[in-house]
Amino acid sequence: METRIEAILFDWGGVLIDNPAPGLMSYCAETLGVSVADYTRAHNACGEGFQKGSISEEAFWRRVCERLGCPTPKQASLWGRAFREIYSPREEVFALARRLRQRGYKTSLLSNTEAPAMEFFLELRYDAFDAATFSCAEGVAKPERAIYEVAAGKLGAAMAECVLLDDRIDFVEGARAAGMKGIVYESLDQVTRDLAAMGVCVK
């Protein structure tokens, strides 16, 4: 007998909000006075520790700017400012999360993100989620098995009772490998149909 879905976990960037990466890369590149391509390469080389919370934002910028040969930013939190500037929520997906929660499902955010973005999320005080799991707070990131286990644990749900909605197939595959179900997010209509096919009451 198929295990009933009890919990739905939502990715943040690319699902609940428009993918922030392009805007973040552009904003930070412009602030530092470098090309988007150069900034993106430096960011990708230095970003893992920042995303997993093992280095501070200050240390992240020191490493990035050393690679770029430019001064470190004067802002207290350039990343936090950039994230706030480009933040574009998809209200219809937040509405889906609220509706599922009202119907008795456990709902959660599960995001690979940095501390300034996490702080912004917490400031917004969304009412759609029972829990939130951030890579920067846990020291692990999707698609590592441990972050899925942490997220399920916060909801008090068995892995097989959880389904992750994520726009990245590697993160969905990580969830499946950890024992969850997973849906690659393409559109609200598509993900609603896929949840219904799993027996989730979405209407």
Both 80 and 93 in one domain: the answer is no
Q: From CA 72, how far away is CA 163, in angstroms rounded?
A: 41
pLDDT at 76: 87
Both 137 and 162 in one domain: the answer is yes
Q: From CA 140, how far away is CA 176, in angstroms rounded?
A: 17
pLDDT at 108: 98
* pTM for this model (two decimals): 0.95
Instruction: Show the tokens assigned to 114.
Output: 């940095």
Both 55 and 105 in one domain: the answer is no
Both 57 and 131 in one domain: the answer is no
Both 115 and 92 in one domain: the answer is yes
User: What is the count of structural domains for the chain?
Assistant: 2
pLDDT at 117: 96
The Cβ of residue 159 has, within 10 Å, a number of other Cβ atoms equal to: 19
Per-position pLDDT tens, the chain of length 203:
578 999 999 999 999 999 999 999 999 999 999 999 999 999 999 999 999 999 999 999 999 999 999 999 988 899 999 999 999 999 999 999 999 999 999 999 999 999 999 999 999 999 999 999 999 999 999 999 999 999 999 999 999 999 999 999 999 999 999 999 999 999 999 999 999 999 998 87
pLDDT at 3: 83
The string of DSSP codes covering 125-148 is T-SS-SEEEEHHHHT--TTSHHHH
Instruction: Look up residue 135 and give its amino acid.
Output: S
Angle of the 188-197 helix axis to the 91-102 helix axis, nearest 10: 20
Instruction: Show the tokens assigned to 119.
Output: 């702080």
Domain range for 34 is 21-86
Both 125 and 92 in one domain: the answer is yes
Both 116 and 192 in one domain: the answer is yes
Read off the CATH number of the domain in which 163 is found: 3.40.50.1000
